[in-house]
Structure 1
């Protein structure tokens, strides 16, 4: 089915990627020298056979799981993880499939680190992450982080510890090192899923994948470094000056652009499934980049499919209630989460605040009541400067949030429509905020 071309209002990369290199199996890099002796045509024939094998694996049919699990992340609200039937084999990615898929879906000359065995821990100095994700060696990542020094630690979450690192060419990166001896089946799938999904996307408002490491008991993902914290930190004021209304509007637009790209302009639509303030990274220029694709899912290519039946994953307060009730995942589940995020941007509050009075503990419910009572000014973050323009912007953003939070999925707008509504607000009040 042909993807729709973007309108002039929203400009995105095409999402199209070319396979400009031959296929490599994860464990076959050691035989790289022998591979060079083969002819170009034989390499192409073998690559075609492997591609056919990958497709046979991907479309071999659904699998099922019946386990039940709840996961909470340090410093974050409870994440729901209940197993149901699976309609896509992307939840069960093999090692070789992840690597080949990552390699296949990045445009530009792709290179893995040459002449390296999976188990040797050594790599050549010819690695070129500028043209796509690579497999790093543990020694390289040790050097980049000064042996994972606590001084370079910049975060910690359900995945493990995040370090700031510097590659040998000076590129700053965020290195996400998983906790050892904590590799349950579900967690390993999230690790592979994040690599696979990040390898398929490229957009200015999405965090870029540089590479990864899966060796013995080490699991590491290397991504673009965004050095100004996450949105939640900015709303809490822990990053200095609080965000003004115009800056919050721009962040909402950036996030909407990113999700629109995932839903509409990738080869296969992607549902993020974990849109929340801690997954929105902020640049020094206060632009937003969406991160953390461990829960992401690809939408079925079947034109007759209306949803994906899958495990419920996400963070409490952000999860679409309809998805939680039916286990049926659609793009509108991301729309609901985005609506919660917009309320968060306007109010400054977390989705669930247990220390508030009972009527204010569920931020979305409290904020929507304020909108109904024409008291948006009371919903606004107390640190925001009140003016006719800022109050009007807050009200219009809250009305958009109300549409995104509609109980019936069919009543929610598409993310592209959200972008258009946000741009209309920006055009109306842009001059006032300058």
Structure 2
């Protein structure tokens, strides 16, 4: 992570640009985002910086996808309690889904946690694809044994929060195991990899503009649910492209709730005071400065993510020239200089309408405003993205 002095200098510069020109902004953090599947890029405030590998070339766009989900989804109904005899339960976790496994069953389902079934690896541990006896495919996240005790709070946080949510754009918790030094989280299997992988063309095709717009809406719906419609307000704290999973129909689901926190719902309280956690490049600068966490911190991260979706570039890329290393700063400068269309991901082969693109980019800059008072809330963001979609489709992708 960049030195505090550098952060303050960059933040001052962009506060000035933001207020004097438009309500567009950028992120002033110059640091590391490693391999997209490596959740060790999710850090606490004391973590160091490093280099980011450049994105590989991407190829032709994939077909258009299905219509997005509606904005509001009601809070989840009570779910069937898990059997206490099968895995450890907490009174707060009496709403877990229907997958109840022992460690022996989990090992069998993952072929003894075979590397060939590994989906990803990060700070918490490794995620495996698992085939259950009834034929159901799930994902099992196994905590690293060497970090089992130190990661217990992250484990408990994730299962307690996942147990409270039910939304089509959020990864669903199916069960968990907490026995001895083994900790497993069992979730639905999302088969099509991460958003970052698709931006990199890892799966053989590049996302077209329509897909990027629809995915942005899906993510905004999921975060809106967490902030407004969950049983209790939830702040994700680690919104980034490698934590967005895509289904076989290209639906987006927000994943990895290890850093998530309950928001302040009591009257008069506007924030949660907590140590900084998240991913460098996506971190809200006001949260880093004040340690005050609000849903607007997720909004900031979403703004950075939206620029990433539009440009195909990671938030920070040390292999680029100095004026292009921080993507939000580069994009902000290009936009203000009237070179907006230079920001379009070159891997999108179709023509992109300038007015539609600018509307999405302006929204991204507003979300990434340096102070939270200047950012919209996620509900307003989702509504604006939906309006952009309606206009886009009304004119057949052209305005």
- CA drift of 1:301 comes to 2.6
SS at 2:310 equivalent: helix
**Structure 2 equivalent of residue 23 of structure 1:** none
* Cα distance in 1 for residues equivalent to 2:284 and 2:224: 18
Structure 1 position 107 matched with structure 2 position 77:
yes
TM-score computed with the length of structure 1 as normaliser: 0.72
Unaligned 5+ runs, structure 1: 1-69, 84-104, 120-128
**Structure 1 equivalent of residue 192 of structure 2:** 228
SS at 1:343 equivalent: helix
SS at 2:192 equivalent: coil
* Larger relative contact order (CA 8 Å, sep ≥ 6): 2
- How many residues align? The count is 333
Among candidates 399, 414, 417, match of residue 362 of structure 2: 399
CA contact (8 A) 1:282 1:288 kept: yes
**Structure 2 equivalent of residue 190 of structure 1:** 154
What is the CA deviation profile of residues 366-420 of structure 1, one whole-angstrom value per residue up to 9, with x for unaligned ones? 011111112121111111135252x332211100001101122111001010011
SS at 1:181 equivalent: helix
CA contact (8 A) 2:33 2:316 kept: no
Residues 1:417 and 1:194: Cα distance change in structure 2 (over 3 Å): same
* Cα distance in 1 for residues equivalent to 2:189 and 2:87: 28
* Cα distance in 2 for residues equivalent to 1:349 and 1:280: 16
Q: How does 1:350-429 map to 2 (within 5 A)?
A: 350-385=314-349, 387=351, 389=353, 391-429=354-392
- CA drift of 1:352 comes to 0.5
**Structure 1 equivalent of residue 181 of structure 2:** 217
CA contact (8 A) 1:280 1:289 kept: yes
Among candidates 152, 155, 158, match of residue 123 of structure 2: 158
* Cα distance in 2 for residues equivalent to 1:214 and 1:130: 16
Structure 1 position 174 matched with structure 2 position 123:
no
**Structure 1 equivalent of residue 28 of structure 2:** none
What is the CA deviation profile of residues 198-230 of structure 1, one whole-angstrom value per residue up to 9, with x for unaligned ones? 000000000000111111111111101001000
Q: How does 1:139-158 map to 2 (within 5 A)?
A: 139-158=104-123
CA contact (8 A) 2:87 2:176 kept: no
CA contact (8 A) 1:181 1:217 kept: no
Residues 1:373 and 1:184: Cα distance change in structure 2 (over 3 Å): farther
Residues 1:170 and 1:134: Cα distance change in structure 2 (over 3 Å): closer
Residues 1:292 and 1:182: Cα distance change in structure 2 (over 3 Å): same
* Cα distance in 2 for residues equivalent to 1:326 and 1:210: 36
What value does the CA root-mean-square deviation take over the aligned residues? 2.5
* Cα distance in 1 for residues equivalent to 2:378 and 2:143: 32
Higher Cα Rg: structure 1 or 2? 1
Among candidates 241, 248, 253, match of residue 277 of structure 1: 241
CA contact (8 A) 1:312 1:323 kept: yes
What is the CA deviation profile of residues 209-267 of structure 1, one whole-angstrom value per residue up to 9, with x for unaligned ones? 01111111111111010010000000001111100011000000000000000001112
Residues 1:113 and 1:344: Cα distance change in structure 2 (over 3 Å): same
Moved more, 145-154 or 237-246: 145-154
* Cα distance in 1 for residues equivalent to 2:284 and 2:95: 37
- CA drift of 1:73 comes to 6.7
Residues 1:246 and 1:369: Cα distance change in structure 2 (over 3 Å): same
- CA drift of 1:79 comes to 3.6
SS at 1:229 equivalent: coil
Residues 1:117 and 1:407: Cα distance change in structure 2 (over 3 Å): closer
CA contact (8 A) 1:234 1:242 kept: yes
* Cα distance in 2 for residues equivalent to 1:284 and 1:116: 32
What is the CA deviation profile of residues 28-81 of structure 1, one whole-angstrom value per residue up to 9, with x for unaligned ones? xxxxxxxxxxxxxxxxxxxxxxxxxxxxxxxxxxxxxxxxxx998765574441
CA contact (8 A) 1:74 1:158 kept: no
* Cα distance in 1 for residues equivalent to 2:35 and 2:351: 37
- CA drift of 1:113 comes to 2.7
